[in-house]
Structure 1
Amino acid sequence: MDPLSSSFRALNAVAMGEARADLVIAGARLANVYTGEVQEGLDIAVAGQRIAYVGPDASHATGPKTRVRRARGLFAVPGMADPHVHIDQLVMPAEFAARAALRGVTSLFADPIDVVSVAGARGLGEFLRQCAGSAARVFGAVPGGLPVDRRFSTARTLTPSQEAAMLRRADVVGLGEVFSWTRVTSRDPATMRQLARALGEGCAINGHTAGASGKKLQAYVASGILSCHEPVDYAQAIERLRLGMWVMAREGSIRRDLRAIVSEVLARGIDTSRLMFCSDGVNPVDMATHGHIDHCVREAVSLGMDPVRAYAIASRNAFDYYAMGRDLGDIGPGRLADIVLMKDLGAARAQDVYVGGREVVRGGRLVAR
C-alpha cells in the first residue's frame, strides 16, 4: 500500500495542475459518504495509487498520457470492505479476493483461524504471501485465543514472539476474534498477555461475545475489545452499540442477521456510524448466488436505508474501525483510489472496479488478478 508520506507532493502537484494525472474518471455521480449526498458530474483524478482531485473539472490535471474513463451517468462509490471474514476454509485466498472484487469489495479483513490451527506461524505467513497482490486488498489478523480449550483441541497457535512480530506487519491489523470471552472475564493469564501485546501495538482486537451480556460484556469491552459480529438481533446489537462497541451485522453463509438488526436500527433512528456489514465467511455458491457485501447493501436499501448511508456502512465505517480512514473508505483527495462504478446505487452491481488506481474489473468482468 503506497504510503501517503511518499506521494503527497505528487498529489499536491496534480491537484494544482502542475503535473498530470495517470487516470481521470470523468463526469461521475459521486456517492459522498462524508455528507450523504450524491454529487453530479464530478471528475476524479488519480495519480499513482491515490486520488489527487475530486471536483467539477479535472482538465487542468489531464495530459496526453492520462487515461480518461468517461463515466457520465454512472455512480462512483468507495470500494466496499468485509471487516471480518474467514477465507481460508474453502478456497484459495487469491481466488476469493478476485470474486470479491467482482462484487465491488476491494478490502478483506481475514481471520485465518483454520490455516493457523493447522500450520501455526508458518501457515499464517504463507497465507499472507498468497494474499499479496490479489485483485482485492487482504489484511490479515493473528487469530485470538487459539486453541479455545486445550483439553479438547490440538490446534496450533503462535508463540508470543511470533505473535509480536506478526502484529508489527503492515498487512496485519491486529487480533482476530477472541473466542472465549470467559477467558477474558476470568482474566486468564495467557489471554491477558495476548491482549496486552495487541493493545501495546495499538492494534484492533476483534470480539466474539455470543452469550455475553451485563457485567460480563462490560468487562470484555473494558479489556479493549471493541467489535463483535455475533449479535443476532436488535437487542444484542443495541446493548453493544450503547457500550461504544462496533457492531458487524453478519450476512453470510454461517448466519444471516442483517435484516433483524438493520430493520430495528432504522425504525428506531439509531446512529449507524459504528455499524458495519460483514460476512463472517461466504461459500462459493452463496457468493455466486447472493453476492458479498454488495448483497448487504441491497438488503439494507430494501429495508428503507438511504443508499449512500448503506455505502458508508459498507466502506467508511470499516476503515474507521481499523484506524485506516486516512487511506481508505471514501473518495477524496489523498485517499487510495479504490473506486467502484455502477449504474444503480440500490442494485449495487459493480461495473468497473479500481484498486489503488489499477483497473481490476471492467464491464463486470475481471481484467486483473
Structure 2
Amino acid sequence: MPQRPAPKPRPWSEMATELVDVATGRRPADLVVRNGRWVNVHSGEIVEGTDIAVVGGRFAYCGPDASHAVGEGTEVIDAGGRYLVPGLCDAHMHVESGMVTVTEFCRAVIPHGTTSMFIDPHEIANVLGLPGVRLMHDEALAMPVNVHVQMPSCVPSAPGLENAGAQLTVADVEEAMTWENIVGLGEVMNFPGVAANDPVMAGEIAATMRAGRTVGGHYASPDLGLPFHGYVAGGPEDDHEGTRAGDAIARVRQGMKAMLRLGSAWYDVAEQVKAVTESGVDPRNFILCTDDSHSGTLVNEGHMDRVVRHAIAQGLKPVTAIQMATLNTAQHFRLEREIGSIAPGRQADFLIVSDLPGMTIDAVYARGRLLAEKGRLAIDIPAYPYPPEAKNTVNLGKRLSAQDFDIEAPSGANEVRVRVIGVIENQAPTRALEADLPVEDGLVAMDRANDVCQIALVERHRGTGGVTNAFVSGFGYQEDCAIASSVAHDSHHIIVVGTNKQDMALAANRLAETGGGVVLFSKGRELALVEMPVAGLMSDERAEVVAEKAGRLVEAMRRMGCTLNNAYMQHSLLALVVIPELRISDVGLVDVRTFERVEVFV
C-alpha cells in the first residue's frame, strides 16, 4: 500500500537543537544515505564519498561519514557511488498548461525529480478571478512537494484590448500577499503599463515589495531601449521572454534574473545560454524554467530533468545547469535557507542520480521521504475535489453556425489584402503578415494552397455570442478541419482555427457541451477530444489519461497536414495580446508592437 505524503517540516528555528544533536551524534537520524557523490551547488563541485543524515524532513549532516547518526530506528540507504542532487525547482510555470490540476501535475513531475514549483495561476484567474487563485493556492498546500504560488498580476493581461472572465485589482494583490503560500507577484505582462507608470501596475508591484516578495517579469519586446529601462526601473526582478543571448545579457546587467525556458513549444535555452558558454557572463543570475508544458511532454519526455539535460547538451557543466535549476531559483525567491541545495537545515529534497549529464533519476526524496523510484510514484496523492462553481464556465450564448465565421468583403471587391497572424515554430511571438485573398460571393475566401486559413475568437464568459474573425498562417492544414480550444491565453475565450467553417461551428459548439477543452473536427466528424471541465482549462482525470488523449489530438492534427512541433501550444497562445506581433482578442485584431486594435483589411 503506497504511503501518504509527509507533512511540511517544522521551521528550522524550531528544529535547530534536533539538527545539532543528529549532526553531533547525540541522537539518531531518521534517514542516512551513504556513499554518495554530493553535487554541491554552493561550491560548484562534486564531493566524492559523502553521507547525508536527515531528521524531521531536514538535512542535519552532510559529510564524509554519518555512522554517528545511525541508530536503531534509522533507515540506511547505500547510494553506491551515485550522485546526490538537490530536488529540482521550476522557477516559472503555469499548471493549467499541463491540462491537469495541481495534484495531477505533481503526480506527473515528481518521478522526474521536480520537488519545488513556482506557479502563476493567471489562467484560472482570468476565468474565476481571486476565488480561482485561492482554489489552486489551497490545493498546492496539500501537495507532498513545494508548490509555491505567485499572485497573478495582469487580469486582464491588456486592459482595453481584451475582456477576460474576471478582473484583479491592487486590493486583490494586497489581500493575496497575506496568504500562507504566496511567494510573489506573477509575471507582469503589461510591460507598456509599467513603463508608463500605470497606477494598477505600480500599485501591485508596490504592494508586493512592501510584503517582501518577489516581482515576476514578462518583457515580451525586442526593444532594449528606454521602454526596457523603464520596465526594469518599475520593479520586475526576472524575465523569461528573452529569445536571444543579448536579451539574457541585457537583463542580467540590469540586475534581473534571466529565466531560460524550455517548454513544450518554447525552445529558448539554446540561444540564450550562449551568454554563459560563449560570452562568459556569470551563471549565478541565470535560472531554468518551463513556463508551459502540456501533459504529453510531462509524461513522455519529462519536466525539469528534461530542461537540465537540454542545458547540459548546450555546453553547460552539469553542476552549473543544476545550479540554474536549484540554488539560483531558491535564492531568487528568498528561499535559499529552505530549498535548492543539499546542506544542513534545508528541506531534505534530493535525488539519487546514476547518470548526471543524462539526468537518469533513480529515486526522488522530498521532506526526507521517498516519493518516486525508477520513474514511478511510491506514494499516494489523493485527488483534490474542485467545487461545482469551478466548472460549467463555457457560455456561448447561442449555438453557432457556419455563417458566424463569414468575413464579408468590401462591396464590389474581387480580391482583398488582409492581415494574417504568422505562427513561428517553437517560439511564443508571432509575425504580422499580409496576404491577398480572393472574394467568393461577397465573402473573403481562405487560401489553403498558401497556408492561410481562418481563426476566430468566440466569447465564452458572458454569453454575448460574439465572434471575432481573422486569418492565420503556419499550421499547414491540408484537409477540411477545425480545432477549437477553451484554453486561449490569457483571456481564455474559445479559439477556433480551421479550413472549413462548418467544422469550426461544430468544434466550438462541442466545447460548450463538454464544459471546455480542445477538440478537432474534420468533415463533420470528431477526431479527437480532451475534456477540461475545470474552468475550461484543466481535466480532472489522471495525467497519463490526459496525455494519451492529447497524443491522439496531436496525431489527428498531423493527419490534417500540421507539421508544427506542439501545434496545440502555439494555437492556445494566439490570443495572448501581450506578446508581439499580431494577436486576436474579443475586441478584434491587436498589433502588439503598438498595442492598438487594427482592422483585418489592410
User: Which of the residues 20, 23, 33 maps onto 1:15?
Assistant: 23
State how far apart, in whole Å, the 1-side matches of 2:343 and 2:164 are: 47
For residue 190 of structure 1, the aligned residue among 190, 196, 200 is 200
Letter in 2 for 1:68: V
Give the counterpart of 2:65 among 57, 77, 85. Answer: 57
Question: Are residues 1:178 and 2:188 paired?
Answer: yes
1:346 matches 2:357: yes
Q: 3-state SS of the aligned residue for 1:164?
A: helix
The answer to whether residue 75 in structure 2 is matched with residue 67 in structure 1 is: yes
Consecutive unaligned residues of structure 2, counting only runs of 5 or more, are 1-7, 382-602
Higher relative contact order (CA 8 A, sep 6+): 1
Match of 2:268 in 1: 257
Q: Does 2:306 correspond to 1:295?
A: yes
On the 8 A contact 1:178/1:206 being kept in 2, the answer is: yes
CA contact (8 A) 2:155 2:164 kept: no
How far is 1:71 from its partner? 0.7
What secondary structure does 2:152 align onto? strand
The answer to whether residue 39 in structure 2 is matched with residue 39 in structure 1 is no
SS in structure 2 at match of 1:343: strand
Q: Letter of the aligned partner of 1:40 in structure 2?
A: E
Alpha-carbon offset, residue 170 of structure 1? 3.0
Q: Deviations over 1:20-60 (max 9, x none)?
A: 11011111111111112111111110001100000111111
- Aligned residues with identical type, % of pairs: 34
- In structure 2, how many angstroms separate the alpha carbons of the residues matched to 1:28 and 1:307? 16
Tell me if 1:201 matches 2:200.
no
Deviation string, structure 1 residues 177-211 (Cα, Å, up to 9, x no partner): 00111111111112211111111111101000011
Contact between 2:246 and 2:275, CA under 8 Å: does it hold in 1? no
Report the TM-score, using the length of structure 2 for normalisation: 0.60
Further displaced range: 284-293 or 171-180: 284-293
- Structure 2 counterpart of 1:352, which letter? A
- CA deviations on 1:311-366 (whole Å, 9 max, x unpaired) are 11110000010010111111011111010111011011211111111210123310
Higher Cα Rg, which structure: 2
> Does the CA-based 8 Å contact 2:154-2:168 persist in structure 1?
no
2:122 partner letter? I
Gapped regions of structure 1 (runs ≥ 5): none
Q: Mapping of 1:209-228 within 5 angstroms? A: 209-211=219-221, 212-228=223-239
Once the two structures are TM-superposed, the CA of residue 159 in structure 1 deviates from its matched residue by 4.3
Partner of 1:245: 256
Q: Which amino acid aligns with 1:49?
A: G
Amino acid aligned to 2:17: R
Deviation at residue 126 of structure 1 after TM alignment: 1.0
CA contact (8 A) 2:177 2:208 kept: yes
2:327 to 316, 322, 345: 316
Q: Distance in 1 between matches of 2:138 and 2:62?
A: 34
1:4 alignment counterpart: 12
For this pair of structures, how many residues does the alignment match? Answer: 369
Q: 2:129 aligns with which of 95, 99, 120?
A: 120
Q: Does residue 331 of the first structure (1) align with residue 370 of the second (2)?
A: no
Question: Which residue of the partner structure matches residue 104 of structure 1?
Answer: 113
Where 1:323 maps in the other structure, the secondary structure is coil
Q: Secondary structure at the match of 1:256?
A: coil
| Secondary structure, counterpart of 1:329 in structure 2 | coil
Question: How far does residue 279 in structure 1 lie from its aligned partner after superposition?
Answer: 0.5
2:89 is aligned with what amino acid?
A: A
Q: Residue 286 of structure 1 aligns with which residue?
A: 297
**What CA distance in whole angstroms lies between the structure 2 residues aligned with 1:214 and 1:74?**
48
Q: Which amino acid aligns with 2:302?
A: G
2:236 aligned partner, one-letter code: I
Q: What is residue 143 of structure 2 aligned with on the other side? A: 134
Identify the structure with the greater helix proportion: 1
2:293 aligned counterpart, secondary structure? coil
Q: 2:169, 2:233 → 1: CA distance?
A: 25
1:24 and 2:35 are equivalent in the alignment? no
Q: Distance in 2 between matches of 1:244 and 1:102?
A: 34
SS of alignment partner, residue 144 of structure 1: coil
Q: Say which is worse superposed, 288-297 or 313-322, in terms of deviation.
A: 288-297
One-letter amino acid of the structure 2 residue matched with residue 296 of structure 1: V
Equivalent position SS for 2:365 = strand
| One-letter amino acid of the structure 1 residue matched with residue 175 of structure 2 | A
Report the counterpart of residue 378 of structure 2 in structure 1.
367
Matched, 1:270 2:270: no
Indicate the larger mover: 161-170 or 30-39.
161-170
CA distance in 2, matches of 1:135, 1:286: 22
Q: Given the alignment of the two structures, is residue 80 of structure 1 paired with residue 91 of structure 2, yes or no?
A: no
